[in-house]
Structure 1
Amino acid sequence: MGNLLNKEPPPPMVLVPPLFDFPPLAARTRMLESSYNILFGKLALKCLFEDYFEEASHFTTRIMLKPIDDPHVDFIATLSGPLNHKPEENIVGNASFRWQSDLDDPHSFMDLFVSSSDPILQMRSSAYYPKYGFGAFGIFPLLMRKRISAEDYGVVGLRYGSENLSVGAALMPLASKYESPKHAWLVSKMGRLTVGVQYEPQYGSKDGAKYKNLMNWNAAVGYGVGSGSPLSPSFNFSLELAKTSQFIASFYQHVVVQRRVKNPLEENEIVGITNYIDFGFELQTRVDDPKTSNNIPDSTFQAAASWQANKNFLLKGKVGPLSSTLAFAFKSWWKPSFTFNISATRDRIIGKTSYGFGIRIENLREASYQRADPNFVMLTPSKEHLAEGIIWKIGKRPMLQSDVNAGNFDGLPRELRPLGKIL
């Protein structure tokens, strides 16, 4: 009886909501892309600037499912179009069926993509061997209404990747010697500094050797801090010179903060909740003679921010020179999960506000990490911690920083781990 009366209270816990979409769907096909197009914060900025921002007066419906009996395969179907029927706009539908050999490694897979627009049927495949660092990939349009360029007949590529180096090329087998490769890249990482170049033969040359035309070259340098896990804050700043005519400066930051929980519906041992705040900025400026004939705007910019308050609510906003957009998303983590989002776009040129809607149903990613020991979770210091020696008033256990910063991700669910140890 005495043991029951003197029972020690349960240890304090912190709610750790899963990110709405981590890892992002674009990361599943990263081995089909140039590493130059993924690094320098480009993948994170793409998700920040595009996800849940529906096109004005349009809708998007997406279903992402995988069978319980065979988690190696999954199916994604998307339907999008205008809210008000217009003769010049059609509802577009597409779907993909994917097979992945390793549940924890998305780098080796094969998928079939079908669409109501070109390409009607396309097969994509990737194989990567982490032990040796080599990989191969291919994109093959099987059915198309009309094949115009050499890319319409297929693209194959080879790559090598390690923690500090990525090099590769994508070739078009039926292209002429002046059109191939489709692109080639070389990216190297030295500490927190990442540098890279990419060759894309889009513009001609007087002697036919396109590699001598500087318009076909891109170069970038980036400075980044962070592990890539959503529990770890990250920071990335990059500068890029594209086609010797466009200068691009971008900045992205992922912030992990903890705040107190003041919810009467939660248990007494729940003392805090983790929030995720993201901010991104991109500036594009033309640096060559504006009288040249390429279609590059003189200058443009965009900035966006998002705040995930808990596992159910996400608020995002972005602003540009012509319009501003605000988006709100609600997600219920059922099996499968359900997400509804609405966005409002204000066109400052015509002074009109338009709305877009989206619905997603998914069971590809699971919310399996809702509660965590505060000794394990990343903690952001505050004045209260400095005053009380990082010990909260509730409970006697100190809120220590986890070993996430040390690179130990073995105890985390795979959704919270970095995308991979290859560049």
Structure 2
Amino acid sequence: MWNWFGNWLKQPPPPMVLVPPLFDFPPLAARTRMLESSYDLLFGKLALKCLFEDYFEEARHFSSRIMLKPIDDPHVDLVATVSGPLDNQPDENIVGNALFRWQSDVDDPNTFVDLFVSSSDPILQMRSSAYYPKYGFGAFGIFPLLLKRRVSSEDYGVFGLRYGSGNCHLEPHLCLYPVLKDEFAKSVWLVSKVGRLTAGVQYEPQYGSNDRANYKNLNDWSCAIGYGAGSGSPLSPSFNFGIELAKSSELIASFYQHVVVQRRIQNPLEEDEVVGITNYIDFGFELHSRVEDANASNKIPESTFQVAASWQANKNFLLKGKVGPQSSSASLAFKSWWKPAFTFNISATRDRVIGKTAFGFGIRVENLREASYQRADPNYVMLTPNMEHLAEGIVWEGKRPMLQSDVNAGNFDGLPRELRPFDKIL
């Protein structure tokens, strides 16, 4: 009788929303961020780079990528790529690359050593990076070991130092073997952050045959300011707006926004309590305008822009599109989370100058991670279950679901690693 009475009082499980894993985590561009200037990665530049380039194949070209990680050693992985034209073009060849990487901490990509081999220059290259956030110091080096020709100072290697506090970072990039006189500093940058505002300046001298370092040359200086909001977690909406004056000759304005939405689903393969799914929508805009005299060069256009958007409907499908003044592109990617995972993408590019459409293809195979749908409480968009209902659901589910209140409060400890905010050096 007590069992019958207990079942009668037992509430049904609470409604849940599926949270799919990200298509790519972490993005390959983020794994080498210590080798790049923070000036080139902040102001939404890294997110815009992934939005404008990932899964957009060049017209009449293909690309393939294999990413493998040993089962018994998660600290190392191998990434091999092969790309080239789909038809026989005399001026293009198929290019193959391979990258072997050792990472000190599985969750921290800032300390690593990798070895890069390629069928094109550089044929063999080693890169190393170490960063100690406790002390704010870091260092890295890029060493081309085999090259067909060594022309510039960068061909002999680049060394960089980094120091940063919570709100300010400084880093010089130095050439190991200057080819020209005074060609020692490759670049020096300073970035500061106060609240949601980020400002930075970068000195990057452009050396010529008879040039020397001249700090008064405004063409060697760039400055930028950005405003960003959001925690950086894929479960939290965010946006970033930036304006940059590059080389005192070009104005770059950019905007990036990440939106999290929930939509209802009727999926017979899921449990009855699953009523919706989370989608990730990204939008980006970038405008380049010349500020120097229009008669300075006829080869460089006065201004150009590009707009892109992406929509991840679930863990299997990603749709992207971008529009520019001369061409438009659309891409559809499908990912199957087998072991190893398999991704196929096709992109179409419409060239409005010649009035033709061409296609590109890509395929990826990787075993770097496993997909797992998470369950989230949908109280902030779709439903509002009471606390007793939610508490009963937690007991029934056997584990604590993700709560929007925790996400808004910045409590990401109970979330999978890929749904937490991606740590920033700054």
TM-score scaled by length of structure 2: 0.92
Mapped contact 1:64–1:77 kept (Cα < 8 A): yes
Q: 1:325 aligns with which of 329, 342, 352?
A: 329
Mapped contact 1:344–1:353 kept (Cα < 8 A): yes
1:212 and 2:216 are equivalent in the alignment: yes
State the shift of 1:229 in Å. 1.3
Q: How does 1:1-20 map to 2 (within 5 A)?
A: 1-2=3-4, 3-4=6-7, 7-20=10-23
State the shift of 1:173 in Å. 1.6
State the shift of 1:8 in Å. 3.4
Secondary structure, counterpart of 2:415 in structure 1: coil
State the shift of 1:294 in Å. 9.2
State the shift of 1:403 in Å. 1.9
* Partner AA of 1:16 in structure 2: V
Q: 2:279 aligns with which of 267, 275, 280?
A: 275
1:73 and 2:51 are equivalent in the alignment: no
CA distance in 1, matches of 2:9, 2:404: 30
The worse-fitting range, judged by mean Cα deviation, of 55-64 and 287-296 is: 287-296
State the shift of 1:118 in Å. 0.3
Structure 1 runs (4+) deviating above 6 angstroms are: 204-207
CA distance in 2, matches of 1:366, 1:181: 43
Secondary structure, counterpart of 2:185 in structure 1: coil
* Partner AA of 2:384 in structure 1: I
Secondary structure, counterpart of 1:48 in structure 2: helix
State the shift of 1:208 in Å. 3.5
Question: Who is 1:195 aligned against?
Answer: 199
Question: Who is 1:416 aligned against?
Answer: 419
Structural RMSD (CA): 2.1
Mapped contact 1:41–1:252 kept (Cα < 8 A): yes
Question: Who is 1:171 aligned against?
Answer: 174
* Partner AA of 2:144 in structure 1: P
Mapped contact 1:162–1:422 kept (Cα < 8 A): no
CA distance in 2, matches of 1:222, 1:237: 5
Assess, with a 3 A threshold, how the Cα gap between structure 1 residues 242 and 421 changes in structure 2: closer, same or farther.
Answer: closer
1:236 and 2:204 are equivalent in the alignment: no
Question: Who is 1:101 aligned against?
Answer: 104
Question: Who is 2:131 aligned against?
Answer: 128
Mapped contact 1:28–1:107 kept (Cα < 8 A): yes
State the shift of 1:232 in Å. 1.1
CA distance in 2, matches of 1:115, 1:73: 19
Assess, with a 3 A threshold, how the Cα gap between structure 1 residues 122 and 205 changes in structure 2: closer, same or farther.
Answer: closer
Question: Who is 2:35 aligned against?
Answer: 32
Mapped contact 2:84–2:94 kept (Cα < 8 A): yes
CA distance in 1, matches of 2:207, 2:380: 49
Question: Who is 2:395 aligned against?
Answer: none
Question: Who is 2:396 aligned against?
Answer: none
**Number of aligned residues:** 411
CA distance in 1, matches of 2:206, 2:134: 35
Percent of aligned pairs sharing the same letter: 74
Mapped contact 1:226–1:234 kept (Cα < 8 A): yes
Q: How does 1:210-359 map to 2 (within 5 A)?
A: 210-293=214-297, 296-359=300-363
CA distance in 2, matches of 1:174, 1:106: 28
State the shift of 1:287 in Å. 0.6
Question: Who is 2:384 aligned against?
Answer: 391
CA distance in 2, matches of 1:133, 1:93: 37
Secondary structure, counterpart of 1:29 in structure 2: helix
Question: Who is 2:398 aligned against?
Answer: none
Mapped contact 2:137–2:164 kept (Cα < 8 A): yes
The worse-fitting range, judged by mean Cα deviation, of 318-327 and 194-203 is: 194-203
1:362 and 2:401 are equivalent in the alignment: no
1:318-355 CA distance string (max 9 Å, x none): 00000000100000111211100000000111110000
Secondary structure, counterpart of 2:50 in structure 1: helix
Q: 2:53 aligns with which of 39, 44, 50?
A: 50
State the shift of 1:365 in Å. 3.3
1:248-307 CA distance string (max 9 Å, x none): 110000000111122222210102110000000001000111222596431100000001
Assess, with a 3 A threshold, how the Cα gap between structure 1 residues 358 and 8 changes in structure 2: closer, same or farther.
Answer: same
CA distance in 2, matches of 1:164, 1:181: 24
Question: Who is 1:87 aligned against?
Answer: 90
CA distance in 2, matches of 1:224, 1:294: 36
Assess, with a 3 A threshold, how the Cα gap between structure 1 residues 207 and 26 changes in structure 2: closer, same or farther.
Answer: closer
CA distance in 1, matches of 2:231, 2:311: 20
Assess, with a 3 A threshold, how the Cα gap between structure 1 residues 234 and 19 changes in structure 2: closer, same or farther.
Answer: same
CA distance in 2, matches of 1:128, 1:351: 50
Mapped contact 1:224–1:234 kept (Cα < 8 A): yes
Secondary structure, counterpart of 1:210 in structure 2: coil
Question: Who is 1:403 aligned against?
Answer: 406
5+ residue gaps, structure 2, are: 392-401
Mapped contact 1:17–1:310 kept (Cα < 8 A): yes
Q: 1:181 aligns with which of 178, 185, 203?
A: 185
Assess, with a 3 A threshold, how the Cα gap between structure 1 residues 414 and 163 changes in structure 2: closer, same or farther.
Answer: farther
State the shift of 1:407 in Å. 2.5
* Partner AA of 2:412 in structure 1: F
CA distance in 2, matches of 1:396, 1:23: 36
5+ residue gaps, structure 1, are: none
Assess, with a 3 A threshold, how the Cα gap between structure 1 residues 85 and 10 changes in structure 2: closer, same or farther.
Answer: same
CA distance in 2, matches of 1:319, 1:105: 35
Secondary structure, counterpart of 1:188 in structure 2: strand
Secondary structure, counterpart of 2:32 in structure 1: helix
State the shift of 1:204 in Å. 6.2
* Partner AA of 2:367 in structure 1: N
Question: Who is 2:394 aligned against?
Answer: none
1:51-71 CA distance string (max 9 Å, x none): 000000000000011000100
Secondary structure, counterpart of 2:294 in structure 1: coil
